[in-house]
Structure 1
Amino acid sequence: MNVETSIPLLDEILGEWQELIGKDYAGYRNHVFRVVNFCLALKECTPEEVEKIIIAGAFHDIGLWTGKTLDYLTPSLPPARDYLERRGLQAWTTEIELMITEHHKLRPYTKLAYPLVELFRRGDLVDFSLGAVTNGLPKEFIKQVKDAFPNEGFHAMLAKMGSKWMLKNPLNPAPMIKW
C-alpha cells in the first residue's frame, strides 16, 4: 500500500473552494486526502472508480461551508452536481450523490448497483474515527496516511461546530448520521 501524496484532480477541485473554506482549508484538504487514500487501500480501483472517489471526496463535506451548517449532506450536493455537469459527467450523478449522502450511514450500504458508496463510507469512517475503526487496513498504513496529511484542526472544528449545533438542536444532535 502506497500513500498517494499527489492527486492533481483533488487539488484542482478543492482549489476552487479554498477562499470559501478559509482557515479550515488545510484541515479539510488533508481529511479528503486521507479518505481517498483509505478508499484506494481498501479496494483496487479502476481509473474511473478513482476519479469518482476523488470527486465524491472533494464535495462530501463541502456543505459545512456552502450551507454553513452541521446538517451538511444536502448542501453538499449542488456543488457536486454542478461540477459533474461542467465536466460532462452527469451519468455519474446518482452514484456521487449517494457516496455523499450515505457516507455517515451507521450500517453498511448494501445496494449492489453502487459498490463505491459502501467503499467511500468505510474509507471516511476510518478517518472520522481517527483510525479507531480500521475496516481491515493495517494500523501502520493508517499512521503513514495521518503522518502525510496531519489533522490541521479538522476534527476539532467538527467538534466545535457539533457542540454549537447540539445546543440549538438537542433533539437532532447529529443530523448527518443515518441508520
Structure 2
Amino acid sequence: MELKMCQVIGALFTIIAGTLLHFVYKWTGQNIFVSFFAPVNESTWEHLKLLITPILLFAIGEYILGGKEIINFVPVKLLSIVAGMLTIVVSFYTYVGIVGNHYLWADIATFILGVIVAYGLSYSLLGTSYFTSLSARQYAWIGLVILMGCMILFTWSPPTIGLFKEPSTTALKP
C-alpha cells in the first residue's frame, strides 16, 4: 500500500480506536490488564494512551505487512508517538492556561491534532535516511520498552505533578 494512504488510514484508525479506548477500562469492569493500555482516569497522562495504544497497534500491523523492510521504521514510529504526545500536552496546557478551563471539544481537538502530527511526521520520515543507524534502531526499541513501562508504572504509581492528576471540575485559577 502507498505510504501516504497507509498513514491516512492509520490516523483514521487511531482517532476511532482512541475514542473507543476512552471507555474500555470502564466497559471491562476496571480490568487491571486493560489499565495498561486504556485510560483509568481523566488525567492528561492517562489520555495519552488514547494516542499511544492505537498507534502501536497499527504500527504492529504495518511492520508485519512490510514495515520491517523500512530500515528506520521503529525509530520513526517512536519519534512520531513522542511528537504526538508532546503536541497533546503542549496544546492542552496552553489553551487551558489561556482560557482558564478545559472543554471537551477542545480536548478532542488536541487529540486529533496529536494524531495528525504523529502520522504527518511518520509520513515525512519513513523511507528517508534519517535514523537508519544501528544505534538509532537499538535506542528506538529501548525507547519503546521504556514508554510501555511508563504507561504501566505511572498508571498505578503516578508522580505528583499536574500531568498525572485528574483535572478539577471547576475553572483552573492561575
Provide the TM-score with structure 2 as the length reference.
Answer: 0.25
Structure of larger gyration radius: 2
Higher helix proportion, which one? 2
- State the TM-score, normalized to the length of structure 1: 0.25
